[in-house]
Amino acid sequence: MGVRRATSAQDPGFIDHMRSKKAAVARVYLPPDANTLLSTIDHCLRSRNDINVVVAGKQPALDYLSVEQAVLHGARGLGIWEWASNDDGGLPDVVMACAGDTPDRPVVFAFHGYPALIHRLTYRRANHHNIHVRGYNEEETTTTPFDIVMMNDLDRFHLVMDVIDRLPALQARAAHLRQEMVDNRARACG
């Protein structure tokens, strides 16, 4: 098992490079919270003859899942977090996620690496034309995590605007909200 520690000089191309390897050899993990990160690290340390890449931030992470839920989420490989959804068992209007394959709904995908990787992974799959990826855009500099998110258009304001822009039925009703997101982003940037 090799260990690579990332530095403040990000290299999202490393994820692309590792994904070009066979899944039987190399795996890339992007845990969504602190407990899932712990579960992922435990899994990786127990594995043998694999190259495991875990992408995590340097800042304290939130706990969306309990330790038990995180282990179950990792065992499943994917999941629906009921507390974060309001579709009540029906079809969603849009998927806001780090992964999703709802066959005919827009998917807004916020990603740690280059957006092209997600497009390559989803090419010729159901709903590819409805997948919009926000990711790293070569706006590298030494700055705060907040500034990096803003410079790469991965901020919450852009994600809300992406949802509104991809749902024609929502565009007229949410025009004021979209304008508020534009204004809030401008204020946040100073």
Percent of the chain with pLDDT over 70: 86
Structure confidence at residue 119 (pLDDT):
82
> What's at 168, amino acid-wise?
P
The values of phi and psi at residue 184, to 5°, are -65, -40
User: In terms of pTM, does the model score above 0.85?
Assistant: no
**Are the C-beta atoms of 118 and 12 separated by less than 8 Å?**
no
For the chain, residues classed under CATH 3.40.50.920 are 86-190
pLDDT of the residue at 38: 94
Angle of helix 156-166 relative to helix 175-189, nearest 10 degrees, comes to 160
CA–CA separation, 144 and 8 (whole Å)? 10
- pLDDT at residue 114 greater than cutoff 70: yes
pLDDT in tens, 77-104: 877 788 877 777 777 776 665 554 577 7
CB distance 118 to 143 below 8 Å:
no
CA 122 – CA 126 distance, rounded (Å): 8
The average pLDDT across 130-139 equals: 76
**Could you report the per-residue pLDDT of 19-41, keeping only the tens digit for each?**
788 878 888 888 888 999 999 99
For the domain made up of 86-190, give the CATH fold. Answer: Rossmann fold (3.40.50)
Return the DSSP state at 96. Answer: E
Give the model's confidence band at 139: pLDDT under 50 very low, under 70 low, under 90 confident, else very high.
low
Report the C-alpha gap between 132 and 119 in whole angstroms. 9
